[in-house]
Amino acid sequence: MLTKLKQYAFISVIFICCSFQGAAAEDQASATNDTATNDTATNDTATNDRAAISVELRHRTADPTATYLVKWRAENWDPAASALIICDMWDAHHCYGATQRVKELAPQINNLTEYLRRRGVMIIHAPSSCMAAYEGHPARKRAKEAAPAESLPSDIDDSCNQVPAELAGQYPIDQADGGCDDDPRTQQKWRESLQAQGKKPGAPWTRQIDTIRIDAADAISDRGSEIWNVLHQGGIRNVLMVGVHTNMCVLARPFGLRQLAKNGFNVALVRDLTDTMYNPHQWPFVSHFTGTDRIVEHIEKYVCPTMESSQILGGTPFRFRNDHRTVVAIVVSENEYQTSRTLPEFAESHLGHDFAIRTTLNHDMKHVSIDGLAEVLQGADLLLLSVWRRALPAAQLSALRAHIDAGKSVVGVRTSSHAFVLRDSVQTPPGLATWPDFDRAVLGAHYVGHHGNKSEDGGPRTLVRAVSSEPLHPILTGLPLEELIVPSWLYKVQPLADTAVPVMVARVEGRLPEEPIAWTNMPPSGSRVFYTSLGHPQEFADEHFQRLLLNGIYWAAGRPVPGLFDPTGE
């Protein structure tokens, strides 16, 4: 296992102000509300609930032992001191795909808008370059006539294409082509359709999509200074932002995330109610929706935290109907094998086309908690686990059991065979619980220790080989059948459950017997389980281990195992 996978060079990124970006509905005849001329405020103040709005904000912090640690912060927002800004949800867009996604997104944004308005949150509609459509509208007058703030940032009417913190990282997608994901034929037909409607194909937007109702008590503006005045006049400290496009307008507009964050507002992106301009045929060659996820991660690292609309509205987060990715929850809590670094890097390199990744990384080895465990498992299809000897709070253990009891998939790496059992000499802390038979009940193994053959310390080597069968197990696709050398010392895991099927076995050089090192299991819950006792950091740098783990993830997800590595997904 010595050859590395082909590496793909990063493409330099141009930060683009979205002077021509946005999206909206294709057919306004299907819109449920026509509100541009609605001068009557809704009369629902009697039902307003002025109680605090609870939000769970997610951000990422740099860590020397991990890619980035994912953190959650609970806050209670005073509705009277909070606002929602709706960015560039236009009635049409030059990109057909963007137009369709905004049409799909708009009803959920309207649901959130109506709810927050009833709670007393200020609503600001910001469809850039469309102010002429709202001349005379009470909401437009409110923005224009807001009392000037005592001090305005000197650049508040300018786009902001970068904040200093972003210099610490690399921009995660190549958007230099403008980001439209239409194929040429679709793009041409859409241009012809726009021309037939009398619209400019390059800039067809004229107003905000009518699906999102505008109330006379709201504000309408696309100017940073006007929105700044509205916020300050209303005593607003907290701002949620929804709309499109995340990597361009939402970030860069004068009223966008960068300007608000750098000027002291407590701002958060509602990450499920947004969309990017990203073409999957550009670097990093991931799905369109993974492109959005990469931008969200970038925002959480360098600009501001994010949250999901379901925290406020209940139910599940919004998801585009064409987003067919398998949702993978990566849960890491171990400090020996560096999987807080290697697993996220592996996911970024190999899972961007067919999988949506949620990650929580934890380095506190005091058996207290795995922060974010329940959050990333909610709605996940597959759990990718790398944990060493943890006791968990009851709620977290319940979330873990619920995932498995629902028949959802599990992939375990290395120390996950003893993930939720403490050493005999360690007493379970008060208020926490363990799952001692997780290895038997879920993984289908019986972990009792390891052979201690640390080759890096001069011990005998571990030799692995594929289990030959007819037909060959799909997890072995693309892997050599001859014996190979790996750096991991060998775990003792026998006997396997009757429901377990070994796909690779290993031996300590000069010793017998062999031990399984990779297998599938089908526990009574119906979960598809793959486990490998490999996972040394040197193995993550090896193409054969990467291939084994990738195949195991695809198999556990019920997806066809890919024949070849192809970063474009073609």
Q: If you search the block for the tokens 């934890």, which residue do you land on? A: 362
pLDDT on residue 327: 97
Three-state SS annotation for 518-564: EEEECCCCCCCEEEECCCCHHHHCCHHHHHHHHHHHHHHCCCCCCCC
pLDDT on residue 44: 40
Between CA 298 and CA 284 the distance in angstroms is 14
Q: Which CATH number is associated with domain 326-556?
A: 3.40.50.880
Confidence check: pLDDT of 172 > 70: yes
Q: How far is CA 158 from CA 116, 125, 161, 258, 431, in A?
A: 28, 18, 10, 11, 53
Q: Are 545 and 486 in contact (CB under 8 A)?
A: yes
The CB density around residue 184, as the number of other CB atoms within 10 Å, is 7
Helices 96-118 and 184-196, axial angle in degrees (round to 10) = 70
pLDDT on residue 564: 59
The model's confidence at residue 17, banded by pLDDT at 50, 70 and 90, is very low
Confidence check: pLDDT of 147 > 70: yes
pLDDT on residue 177: 96
The CB density around residue 389, as the number of other CB atoms within 10 Å, is 17
The model's confidence at residue 49, banded by pLDDT at 50, 70 and 90, is low
Confidence check: pLDDT of 40 > 60: no
Between β-strands 53-63 and 66-77, what pairing exists: parallel, antiparallel or unpaired? antiparallel
* Residue of 410, 269, 400 lying closest to 326 (CA atoms): 410
Task: State pTM to two decimals.
Answer: 0.87
pLDDT on residue 535: 94
The CB density around residue 451, as the number of other CB atoms within 10 Å, is 17
The model's confidence at residue 12, banded by pLDDT at 50, 70 and 90, is very low
Q: Are 488 and 534 in contact (CB under 8 A)?
A: yes
Q: Are 235 and 137 in contact (CB under 8 A)?
A: no
Residue range 452-462: mean pLDDT, rounded: 73
Domains 55-313 and 326-556 belong to one CATH topology? yes
pLDDT in tens, 363-410: 766 667 888 899 999 999 999 999 999 999 999 999 999 999 999 999
Residue range 518-530: mean pLDDT, rounded: 96
Question: Which residues lie below 8 Å from residue 452, measured CB to CB, with a gap of 6+?
Answer: 459, 489
Q: Which CATH number is associated with domain 55-313?
A: 3.40.50.850
The model's confidence at residue 224, banded by pLDDT at 50, 70 and 90, is very high
The CB density around residue 447, as the number of other CB atoms within 10 Å, is 20
pLDDT in tens, 247-289: 999 999 999 999 999 999 999 999 999 999 999 999 999 999 9
Residue range 339-346: mean pLDDT, rounded: 93
pLDDT on residue 18: 36
Confidence check: pLDDT of 135 > 90: yes
pLDDT on residue 371: 85
The H or E element that residue 119 is part of is: none
Confidence check: pLDDT of 28 > 50: no
Residue range 158-176: mean pLDDT, rounded: 95
The model's confidence at residue 106, banded by pLDDT at 50, 70 and 90, is very high
Confidence check: pLDDT of 34 > 70: no
Q: If you search the block for the tokens 């990422």, which residue do you land on? A: 60
What's the chain's average pLDDT?
88
Between CA 146 and CA 84 the distance in angstroms is 17
Backbone dihedral region for residue 553 (phi beyond 0: left; psi -120 to 50: alpha; all else: beta): alpha
Between CA 117 and CA 56 the distance in angstroms is 20
* 184 vs 70, higher pLDDT: 184
Confidence check: pLDDT of 568 > 80: no
Give me the residues paired with residue 70 across strands.
Answer: 60
pLDDT on residue 29: 31
Helices and strands counted in the chain (H then E)? 14, 21
% of the chain surpassing 90 pLDDT:
77
* Residue of 497, 510, 532 lying closest to 451 (CA atoms): 510
Confidence check: pLDDT of 567 > 90: no
- Lowest pLDDT segment from 238-247, 315-324, 402-411, 556-565: 556-565
pLDDT in tens, 227-257: 999 999 999 999 999 999 999 999 999 999 9
Domain parsing of the chain, residue ranges: 55-313, 326-556
Between CA 194 and CA 200 the distance in angstroms is 7
